[in-house]
Structure formats: C-alpha cells, structure tokens
C-alpha cells in the first residue's frame, strides 16, 4: 500500500485516539441501584472497622463516598474528577473508597458495633447531601469510644472541582490535618 497524505493523517488520528483512550481513567459502571461506581471501589461486607483495618494493612486510607441516585454532582464526580488519571490513579494507590447510598437500606456495621441502614448511618454522621466524602483516621479501634461526629478527620461536603478534590485526598494522605487547616495546606502547595 502506498503511503499518501490521507493515509498518514488517518494513521496519526488513530494513534491520537488510542493515546486519548489510554490516558482516560476506567469508565464508571451504572449499578442496579442507579449509582455510578468506579470499577476499583471497595467491595465490602459493610463492616466499617474491618474495611478501615484492611485499608490500613494495605498502606491505604479509608474513605466513604455518599451518593444518591440521580444526583448530578455525584455523576460529575465520576465523569469529571475520577475520569482524570492524575486523580483516579492517586486515589486508587492511596485510598480504599466505600460507596454508600444516602437513602439506602443495606445494613452497615458502624465502628461502635451498631448495625444500621445506610440511611440511618448517614443521619448518624450528619451526612445531608451528596456527594459527601468522609475521611477516617488510620486505625479503627480508637473510633469505637468516640461519638460519630468526632470519628472522621475531615470531609468533602458536596462537589469540588478536580484540583481542590485531589488536594483534599493529598491533605488526608499526608496527614496535614494534624497540623494545619485545609486552606493553609492549599496555600502551602506549589502553584
């Protein structure tokens, strides 16, 4: 086959399309309950202490992502934020993400041993809108004695733009919350 300008352009276009496809993160899956789910999200027996300890053994942090069917900002989190490999790769490497439904009925065992529906657990933790990300300390044992409002180290309330979203995951992974506020952390980051 003779090389022509057209065949070279088509070949270059095909290579560019393959490169873009490879650069995108895995596509989220629409589940039976109407939530989008990343293929790498934690598969869980819904025991928060066990999930946190398993994450710790893997050298990762534990985070809960609260969602709701039809939530446009939840979808945006999946299709904008997690679609960026710099974000999804960082989160996958450093966190175990448990997805819960803010109005769900699955039974979840909380850190204190109580068994609640997802909906009741969301109410217990004061989660009122979606998406909400709850970040927890590295170990589960101390959480049993704490009231629910004192268990998490921080949270992302609602949708955050990709740069701030990734910065919060770095803030937690670096344990910067131990010495500074999130705003102080953002100001200390290189531009």
Q: What is the pLDDT of residue 174?
A: 97
Close Cβ partners of 45 (under 8 Å, ≥ 6 residues apart): none
Which parts of the chain register pLDDT below 50? 1, 6-23
Close Cβ partners of 76 (under 8 Å, ≥ 6 residues apart): 159
Q: What is the pLDDT of residue 20?
A: 44
Which secondary structure element, helix H or strand E, spans residue 19, and what is its range?
Answer: helix 5-23
Q: Can you tell me which residue has the tokens 């490169």?
A: 19
Cα–Cα distance between 187 and 137 in angstroms, integer? 23
Q: What is the pTM of this model?
A: 0.86
CATH topology of domain 28-188: Glutaredoxin (3.40.30)
State pLDDT tens for residues 92-147: 999 999 999 999 999 999 999 999 999 999 999 999 999 999 999 999 999 999 99
Which pair of tokens denotes residue 46? 């819904």
């Amino acid at each position: 086959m003779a090389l022509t300008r057209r065949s070279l352009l088509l070949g270059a276009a095909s290579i560019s399309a393959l490169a873009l496809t490879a650069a995108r993160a895995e596509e989220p899956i629409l589940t039976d309950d109407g939530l989008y789910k990343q293929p790498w999200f934690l598969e869980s027996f819904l025991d928060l202490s066990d999930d946190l300890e398993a994450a710790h053994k893997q050298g990762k942090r534990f985070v809960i992502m609260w969602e709701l069917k039809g939530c446009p900002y939840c979808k945006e989190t999946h299709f904008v934020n997690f679609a960026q490999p710099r974000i999804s790769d960082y989160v996958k490497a450093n966190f175990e993400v448990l997805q819960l439904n803010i109005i769900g009925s699955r039974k979840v065992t909380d850190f204190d041993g109580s068994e609640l529906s997802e909906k009741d657990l969301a109410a217990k933790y004061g989660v009122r809108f979606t998406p909400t990300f709850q970040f927890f300390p590295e170990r589960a044992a101390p959480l049993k004695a704490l009231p629910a409002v004192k268990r998490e180290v921080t949270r992302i309330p609602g949708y955050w733009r990709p740069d701030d979203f990734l910065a919060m995951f770095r803030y937690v992974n670096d344990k910067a919350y131990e010495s500074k506020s999130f705003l102080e952390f953002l100001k200390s980051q290189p531009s």
